[in-house]
Structure 1
Amino acid sequence: MKCIKKLILMMIPVIFLVGCSTSGMNDKNVSKEAIERNTMTKVQNDVNVIMDKSYDYVLQNMGSPYSTIYSLKIDNINDFKDVNKIKGTQVDDVKVLSTGLLYPKYTSDYKLDGSAIYIGLKNEKVNQVETCDFKNFDVSQLMDEKSNISISSYTNYDNLNMDNIDRDKLNNYIGKEKSSLSDIIKHKKCKYSIYMDLDDPINIDIYDVKDSDFLMIAYKDDIIIDIGEQDCTNILSSIQENID
């Protein structure tokens, strides 16, 4: 379990950094809803409408995405046993290989139609447009082929109130199925999710908690392998300079 926690401590500064770029989206003066929906329709009919366009163009014409997905390459993590090589936050080889924007499709009466458009960017230009299953979105299918970790940052998320949760009993969930957390999560949306493409893939959901803490939950095959709160605000600067 210590190796999982070390990895989480390493990943959080990256999350803060990439999260900054998505939070900036909400401050942009994006186009009106009619223009956004019109662009979405055009892209659905012909992906060439948006190919090679800039990151800013996508935001201005399609609005803020449901989530922004970053494909990362960390050279010294090749499989699960390598995680214990991480020394706190001393990571030198973190690279953002590509960025993806996920936009759900809506019907004419503003209802989700079950699919979404994934827009991939490299070097700030659109180079990939895919239609995918929104409800069962599988980030591993759209990750950069050289990536071993992806971070999804969600535009809209929920805050958890831990006042009524017994923090001392969180470890009791380890070894149980993900569904056992329903009494804590209660259908709340996490702020970030991480997918680690290792020999034994791991998923980590990170929920925003008041007072600058996060509740981090790691799963392997939908079984909880780690859970806990972490204040990550003091370790951001140690990795920022390593992100391209």
Structure 2
Amino acid sequence: MKLRKLLYSIIIISAFVTGCSKSENINTNESLPNEEMKHRMMTKVQNNVNEIMNKDYEYVIENMGKPYCTTYYIDSDNPREIRDKRLIYPKYTEGNKLDKSALYINLRDDHVVEVQTYEISKEDLNEKYINDGADIIVDRYNYALPISLSSVEKIDINNFIGKDTRLVYEYFGDKSPSLEAYSKAGNRNIDLYEVESSGEIKLLVIFSKENKIEDIKIINQEKLVNILKQYLDNK
């Protein structure tokens, strides 16, 4: 996977960072279920997947709430048409403790086509239900916590260049990025963290290859597309 295709695809899907995806603009104040409704629906689906089979995206969100992670499968030759995506809902025990498994709900053209239960792992997140035509995968973590502005301002970027990407996660207390994009081959990654700020929304963007950090940029959200294009032009 060439970096050029990966970046062009990120430019196309940058709307996901700002919540502008048309199919996902659901009135959260009126449509999202409470915790009791979510748990009840989760139990129904675990017992009988037909509860949501062939239902549309909006139905799933209105009855199960926002997923932990939404995955988009993208054909880099046609990045504007995203037909396949996956919703991941972690399962909880009766004591409301996080289980080691999750419901993986796969959608095509915004309708549920498959529901499976898998153990949650990085390998599962990367490999389950990858469409043959998709060579770019984007994970959007709906409950990712922003990183503090003070920790970002203190960061010495030069100390991270060429180092393993794990160092960034450790530096920010193992917080997940808001959005992670990577090639199916797994050699290119772009991670976006939202930064706490009282003014303009800021993003920390990390470019890596084969788990080694190539560059780190701190930008205002509205400048994301321009920064990605500049990075692309230099490659």
Query: What TM-score bracket applies, with the shorter chain setting the length?
Result: 0.7 to 0.9
* TM-score normalised over the length of structure 2: 0.78
Aligned equivalent of 1:176 = 163
Where does the alignment leave 5 or more consecutive residues of structure 1 unmatched? 76-91, 238-244
Aligned equivalent of 1:16 = 15
C-alpha deviations, 1:8-35, integer Å up to 9, x for none?
4761451324733457464442233223
Where does the alignment leave 5 or more consecutive residues of structure 2 unmatched? 227-235
Change (3 A) 1:214 1:7: farther
C-alpha deviations, 1:152-200, integer Å up to 9, x for none?
11221222234344578313312111232256322223211112124x5
What's the secondary structure of 1:188's corresponding residue? coil
Change (3 A) 1:74 1:167: farther
Aligned equivalent of 2:202 = 213
C-alpha deviations, 1:38-74, integer Å up to 9, x for none?
2211221222221101111111211111121111111
Alignment partners' CA distance in 2, 1:102 and 1:183: 24
Task: Work out whether residues 148 and 196 of structure 1, in 8 Å CA contact, stay in contact via their aligned partners in 2.
Answer: yes
Alignment partners' CA distance in 2, 1:15 and 1:146: 21
Q: 1:202 aligns with which of 184, 188, 193?
A: 188
Q: Name the aligned partner's letter for residue 69 of structure 1.
A: T
TM-superposed deviation, 1:102: 0.8
Q: 2:136 aligns with which of 133, 149, 155?
A: 149
Aligned equivalent of 1:241 = none
Change (3 A) 1:162 1:98: same
Alignment partners' CA distance in 1, 2:46 and 2:165: 35
Aligned equivalent of 2:37 = 35
Aligned equivalent of 1:226 = 215
Q: Name the aligned partner's letter for residue 80 of structure 2.
A: V
Aligned equivalent of 2:125 = 138
C-alpha deviations, 1:94-123, integer Å up to 9, x for none?
321212111000001111111111111112
Change (3 A) 1:13 1:215: farther
C-alpha deviations, 1:76-135, integer Å up to 9, x for none?
xxxxxxxxxxxxxxxx75321212111000001111111111111112210011212224
Q: 1:59 aligns with which of 61, 82, 100?
A: 61
C-alpha deviations, 1:200-236, integer Å up to 9, x for none?
5323221012332211123334322332223341576
Q: Name the aligned partner's letter for residue 71 of structure 2.
A: I
Identity %: 31
Q: How many residues align?
A: 218
What's the secondary structure of 1:126's corresponding residue? strand
1:47 aligns with 2:49: yes
RMSD of aligned residue pairs (Cα, Å):
2.9
Aligned equivalent of 1:98 = 84
Q: Name the aligned partner's letter for residue 74 of structure 1.
A: S
Q: 2:108 aligns with which of 99, 112, 122?
A: 122
Task: Work out whether residues 6 and 76 of structure 2, in 8 Å CA contact, stay in contact via their aligned partners in 1.
Answer: no
Alignment partners' CA distance in 2, 1:123 and 1:144: 13
Q: Name the aligned partner's letter for residue 225 of structure 1.
A: E
What's the secondary structure of 2:162's corresponding residue? coil
Select between 202-211 and 18-27 the one with higher mean Cα deviation: 18-27
Alignment partners' CA distance in 2, 1:36 and 1:166: 39
Alignment partners' CA distance in 2, 1:217 and 1:56: 32
Task: Work out whether residues 149 and 194 of structure 1, in 8 Å CA contact, stay in contact via their aligned partners in 2.
Answer: yes
Q: Name the aligned partner's letter for residue 213 of structure 1.
A: K
